Structures are given as C-alpha cells and as structure tokens.
Structure 1
Amino acid sequence: MTTPEERRKNAQAGSFGTAAEAYERGRPPYPPEAVTWLVPEHAKIVVDLGAGTGKLTRALRAPGREVVAVEPSAGMRERFSQVLPDVPVLEGTGESIPLPDRSADALVCAQAWHWVDPERAVPEVGRVLRPGGWLGLVWNLRDVSVPWVAELDRILRDYAAAPTEDRQVERVGAPFGPVERQDFRWRYPMTADDAMDMVASRSYVITLEPAIREELLGRVRALLDTERPSGMPYVTECYRAELRQP
C-alpha cells in the first residue's frame, strides 16, 4: 500500500504531459559550461534520461555525438518530437532504460533524478553505460539570493513543496565512484509571461486544485507586474560520477 506522500509524488511525476507546452515555453535551457562539465569530451553516445521537451538535449548535441532521449510521458515525447524530430526519443524510466548493455558513454538526467528509485535506477544506469562512462545529474534552481526571486519562492511554498529538496545524489553509490559537484550561476532572459509559464509547468502547481492554482498564479502575476524582471537568475547545480571498471 502506498503512503499519501508516495501518491502525491507519483501524481506529480505523471503530471508533466498535460503542461508540455508551458514547459517548453517557460523552462530555461542549460548553460554550455555546465554541459561541458557533465559530459566527457570523448563521449560519442549520450543518453538524456527524463528528457522532457528536449531542453537539455539541445545542449548535449555536438558534432560526432549521438544523443538518445528517454522520457516516460507520452505528452512530453510528442512535444519533444516536434522540437527535435531528428533525435530518437524512447519511452522509459530511470528504473527501466530501453537500451542495450554498455551502449552509452554518458547518461545525463536533468531535473528528474528526484523522481527515481535509486536502488533500481543506479544499477540500471550502470548497465547501460560502458566502463568509465559518466552519470551526470543537473538541476536549474532559481537563485533565491535575489530578493524578488526569494519572494516568488515563498509564494510557491505557501501552496506546495517543490519535490527537488531531496535530490538523492548521496544515494548514487556503487558501481559508481565518488560524486563530484560544480555549480554555475547565470541569468536567463525571460519575460513575465515566460515566468508565468515556468511556474505553471511545475509539477506541484499542475496538480493543485484549479481554484487554488488560479489563486497562486494570480499572486505570482502580481509580483511580476511589480518587479518587471527582464530575466531569471539561476544556479545550475551539477553532479557527476564515473562508472568504475568491473
């Protein structure tokens, strides 16, 4: 029997397909320097796990490199194929990756590792990677050291807790080596409408009751009308670990 917390998490994890358009419009890309740090230079085949609408996939593409996307949501896969029709996108999860053993040089998971069961996902990623391959985990986090962003964060927390507080990075473990971390600070140009889409595409907002969601979005719009931001400051939090030789 699942707990209320597990049911809430499962509902949030399955909610993204209904907001694929807002996700594509409002979610930021990833800074090139973060991708360079996450993916080894020698990688020829890279898996984008939990690819969503392809925000990270676009940054992973490089001459001589093949990118394969894996995404559980049918709605997200449909939007992904519209945006990146030449990149294969497969149905799958961190616990069940539809790729052969030792078929990839790197696997990167953006904004999604907190959804997986590490006890099942870690060995599954280890199965897909070649020895010496890298697992990369990355989150774009709003920079709450900026006062108006801190106020936005407070409004959101008045209604629902973000699921990324436990990113489960410490549960990577064997067969991977030590986890390294690097943060990258940057600013993404964003209009107030873009920021509204960013908020509306959060799983914990999507799954609110309609009236409560509208109340939340109204408060966010009032904040943005007051602050009139021209961009969103982010901290891109990156982790990587190398698959040990057998």
Structure 2
Amino acid sequence: MTASARTTRAHSFNAAAAQYAANRPSYPPALLDAIEDLAGRPLTGARVADIGAGTGIATALLHARGADVIAVEPGDGMAAQFRGAHPDIPIVRGDGNTLPLITASVDFVTYAQAWHWTDPARAVPEALRVLRPGGALALWWNTDALDVPWISEAADRTARYFGVNVSAEKRNANARAADPTGRLDFARREVRWSRRVPLDTHLANIGSHSIFLVHGEEVTAAYLAEEREHLLRTFPDGIVEEVYEVILLLATTA
C-alpha cells in the first residue's frame, strides 16, 4: 500500500464512525490474557496508551480490565464517537508517528487494528520513547479465519471485486513488517474466537472497512447486495457466525 493510499484509507473511517462502533467485532478475554502472559505483567493498574483508538472498542476492554488508559486518536469523527461512548476515559489527538505523550510515561503501548496505518520506522522509536523500562508494545488484528469455507469464499469474492486481498493485508502481520528497524523482538500469538450476529450487522461490519469506504456508497451497496444473496444461501436463518483469528505481536523493552 502506498503512503498516499494508506492516508486516504486511514481517514475514511471518520465519516463512518457510528457504523464502525455499532458493528465492528470486539476482542475475546483470552487476548488480554495473552498480552499479560507475553508481557509478564498484569494490565490491572498498568498505565496504558491505546494508539489509533478509534471508537474505543479495545480501549474500553483495557479500561474494564483495570488498566489506567489514555487513548490517542487522530481522526475527528472517530474521536467524537469515542468521547460520546466513553466520557470517563481520557483521549488526546495524535498518531503513532508523533506521540503526544511524555517520555517513559507508560507501561504498555497498544495498537488494535491500527499499526498498519503508521510508518513503523517512525512509530517504533516513538513507542520505545514513551515506554518505561520493562514496558511492552502490543499490536493486534482481528483477521478472518480462512480455514472456514464460507469465510474463504467471501474473501475471494472481495479480492476479485476490489482487486485487493483485504484478509491478507492483516494476516501478513509479522515481526519484520511490524518493525523494519529490527530493534524489537516480537513474540506472536493467535487467539481464535467467534461471534454470532444478524446478517445486517455482518454486512455493516464489512462496509465499515476502509477498502469499501474509499470506493463510495454506490459501489459498496452493489457489492453488499450481492454478498447478502451469497450469505443467505449459507445462513438461511439470517444469523452469521463470524470466526476470527486475532494475531498478536508483543515486544518488551529492556
């Protein structure tokens, strides 16, 4: 993805913040367990900066776990949605390339579905700057479980329609891509989980992804109408079981 395309897609969420908040999947408790296990410390009582916090899906989970969380979000629409939903969690404007945080001020820096919008060559040094000794940088993504036949078929349809393999963009997350500077030693975990949602929620979730948002309402509506027909053959009762593999990368500082 070029820098220009990345910027355009990153900014596309602001006009669809309410749709994003209402329909995107959350994350399972086992993910937070894995973060604590790899970091060797609990989230409860830890100072956490959740970067690219969006509407606060992950931030709220970290807060509920007992972490002292501050959110960092660059987008107007996403930040407004966050403030409305989570008035008790502080949020500041900024992005991972230039963090608006004090040096050595946090125990965890987290990125949920957001690291791929940064320039890692800038974001890695910034994360290291704001982390305290022994702190952890945690990056994670909900990715489609492509071993499930209907999910694999749907991913293929999206790739053919838009010429972009959306599932591969996130499943290709690895230590070298996450840190081209080579300064961090990432451990990797995968956490499988699922949710059952109405077909309309599933389609709205799909439509809230950047590849759909940048193509406009007409193109997206046409695709989703076709997708509805495909999915009704698999889920005639109108309830879709979405299956995810959360990919977690975590590195600790010295």
Aligned position for 2:218: 211
Read off the aligned partner of 1:15 and give its amino acid letter: S
Q: Higher mean Cα deviation, 221-230 or 12-21?
A: 221-230
1:149-188 mapped onto 2 (5 Å cutoff) = 149-160=151-162, 161=164, 162=166, 163-164=169-170, 166-167=172-173, 169-170=175-176, 171-172=178-179, 176-188=183-195
Aligned position for 1:132: 134
Corresponding residue SS for 2:188: strand
Q: Within the alignment, does 1:11 sit opposite 2:18 as a pair?
A: no
Name the TM-score, length of structure 1 as normaliser.
0.91
Is the CA contact 1:38–1:108 (under 8 Å) kept in the aligned structure 2?
A: no
1:44-63 mapped onto 2 (5 Å cutoff) = 44-62=46-64
Where structure 1 has 5 or more consecutive residues not aligned to the other structure, the ranges are none
Q: Higher mean Cα deviation, 60-69 or 133-142?
A: 60-69
Where structure 2 has 5 or more consecutive residues not aligned to the other structure, the ranges are none
Cα 1:148–1:63, aligned 2, differ >3 Å: closer, same or farther? Answer: closer
Structure 1 residues 91-143: Cα deviation after superposition (integer angstroms, max 9, x where no partner): 11110111111110001101111111111100001111101100001000111
Read off the aligned partner of 2:20 and give its amino acid letter: Y
Cα 1:65–1:5, aligned 2, differ >3 Å: closer, same or farther? Answer: closer
One of 107, 125, 128 as aligned partner of 1:105: 107
Identity of aligned residues (%): 33
One of 23, 26, 46 as aligned partner of 2:23: 26
Aligned residues: 241
CA distance in 2, matches of 1:104, 1:184: 25
Aligned-residue CA RMSD (Å): 2.0
Is the CA contact 1:134–1:241 (under 8 Å) kept in the aligned structure 2?
A: yes
Q: Within the alignment, does 1:96 sit opposite 2:78 as a pair?
A: no
Aligned position for 1:76: 78
Name the TM-score, length of structure 2 as normaliser.
0.88
